[in-house]
Homo-oligomer: A and B are copies of this chain.
Amino acid sequence: GDAKTGRKAATACQTCHGMDGLSKLPEAPNLAGQVEPYLVKALTEYRDGTRNNQIMSVVAKGLSDTEIANLAAYYAGIQIEVLPPG
């Protein structure tokens, strides 16, 4: 996917997931640095109805495979660092 194109499309995601991929809501996951094939799978499943969520099932409905790939590339491409648990 093309992260630059995905970034433009991600403006539609930012209310819940942030442009930086950090969740703004208790029910919305962080997406920053998430595994790219996992994001593709999640969006595809929401679009195709094999995964269901009140909001995501609606917003994913109209996405093409290319748009999904671009969004996944954008959020997966945000770098994260993990501080090792104690």
Contact = CB atoms under 8 A, between A and B. Distances in A.
Interface string A10-24: 000000000111110
Interface string A56-86: 0000000000000000001001111111110
B27 A38 contact: yes
A20 to B, nearest CB: 5
Q: Secondary structure of the A side of the interface?
A: loop
Contacts of A26: 35-38
A33 B53 CA distance: 21
Interface residues of A, number: 32
Interface of A: 7, 19-23, 26-30, 32-38, 41, 50-52, 74, 77-85
